[in-house]
Structures are given as C-alpha cells and as structure tokens.
Structure 1
Amino acid sequence: MHFRRRAVVLLATLATLIGANLIASTPAQAATSCSGTVTHSQTFRGSDGSIIGELTIYYNSSNGGTNSACFYHRGASYGVAANTYVLIMRCSQRSGEGRTCTSTAQSSPQDGDFSYYAGPVGVTGTANYCVAAIGWITWRGVNYGKFDPLTRGC
C-alpha cells in the first residue's frame, strides 16, 4: 500500500514538472555534502507524535552557490533501515519563500533503504535563487515527509 502511495506522489510530481516543461535539460549537480549554512530544516512526526525524520537544506558559496539536502532519520528511526528519499531543485524564483517551485535544474534523487540518512544531493548556480527539496521516510508502512516542492532559502 505504501509503495502505491509513494509511486502516485512521485508520478504526480514528475508529471507536473515535466508537463509544464519546468525541468531543465541539463541538471546542475554538484559534488555535495550535508554541510554549510542551514537555510531550511523541517522535522516530521510519526503517528505517535515522536520525531522520526528531518529534511535539511544547506547552502555554501562554491560553484556560484551550491545547495544540498539530506533527509535524516531521527528518534526511533535512527539506525533502523527504512526507505528514505531526497531530491533538491534550483527554482527560477529569486524570492517568495513557500511558493511552488518552478524548477530549472534538479539533483538525481537518492532513494533506498538507509539507516541514518539519504543524501547528500545537490545543485549548483543557486546564488540569489530559491531552491526546493522533497524528502521522506517510510516508517512502519507510512510515508512521512515533504512531498510538495515549495521554495526555500530565497
């Protein structure tokens, strides 16, 4: 059941981006790490209210600005293998925190069974541009995380 929900979310997101011609033909990926200045961090709680994951976006000034993202396991999920996903996009917007991202480049997603975190994934050329990240953890059969590509770090 959780696989079907995840597949629908992925397909809907990709169809929206591709259908609107929002993905650039050449992604601006970078050798990245989960370090730098934190520009956005969001925690996610399981059904019992405890924190089980955290999506964090970082920035550094190399390569015309580089943003990276990691989705960390927290609390009870820390150290436990679970499907975890993360992707980051450079948006065309230069301002407007929290709006839907119009993607001009994106990282390759990192998706798999991880025990501590998924990522890092990154994009370059982000100085003076917003970014958006999507990430989640499948915990006890339910996906918890961020599924909508909203602008951050503007």
Structure 2
Amino acid sequence: MFIKGVKILFVVLLFYLMTSTSTTPLEAYEETSPARRLHKAHALCTLNKSPPATDDNDNEQIVETFIRCMATKMGLWTDKDGYNAKQVAKFFNKHNYENEVMTIVDYCNHQHQQTNLDLWAYESYRCATEGRIGAWLEEYYMLSLKL
C-alpha cells in the first residue's frame, strides 16, 4: 500500500511540477485547452490545500482531496458519476488509444465507487494510472522537462 501511495504521490507531483515550472504564460493557451484547464485547476486546488501533514494518513487524505479537486476543476470528475472516461481520453489522444483509456477509466471508476468521494477519486485514479496511462503521464512529464 505504501509503495502504491508513493507512486500516486509521484504522479501528482509530476502534475505539480509540470504546471509550476512551465515557462509558457497561461494566457497563451486556448481557453478550453487541457493545458489551460490544468493550470487553472492547479491554482484553485492549491489555494485549498491543508497545512503540512503530520503522518502518512494525513498525507494520503491531502492527496485524495487534491486529486478530486483537480479532476473536478478540469471537468474530468463529477460527484454523481465519478470520472468522465471520454473527457479523460481526450488527454491521451496523441496515443490514439481512446477506447482503451475509456475502458480502463470506466472499469476503475466502477470498481472503486464508494460514498467517500475523495477516496473514490483517489482509488480510481490510482487504478487507472497503474498501467499504460501512468506510463503515458510519466512520458508526458519527461517531454515537458525537455521544453
């Protein structure tokens, strides 16, 4: 469990680093582009972040809340239905695996559905990013470092 939590935290930090080290101003992106939505979501969700955690449970809860906040602000998550697989797939359109992404996201979304919305978002995200989607996120991050 700890290793999976570290992997998820790593991916969240990748998103954070992508948005915080970008040299492209937010205004340069189209209003509806994924990059602009990511920048906006990050800004809104970090405003709501808690003080530093005191133990692993606090850290995990902060990550759960942050992931749900980011996904909600980016239009990828609703509290009623969870992740919108079609919207998530749009982020991976360069790989031309829209159906695969949608299948994985739908599967993980339904497998981990629960009343604790932060935990549902976190566990579904963790499930979906354990395979190829996680590798694509890491690839995207590595490419962004070269820019």
Do both share a fold (TM > 0.5)?
no
Higher helix share: 2
TM-score, with structure 2 as normaliser: 0.26
Higher strand share: 1
TM-score, with structure 1 as normaliser: 0.25
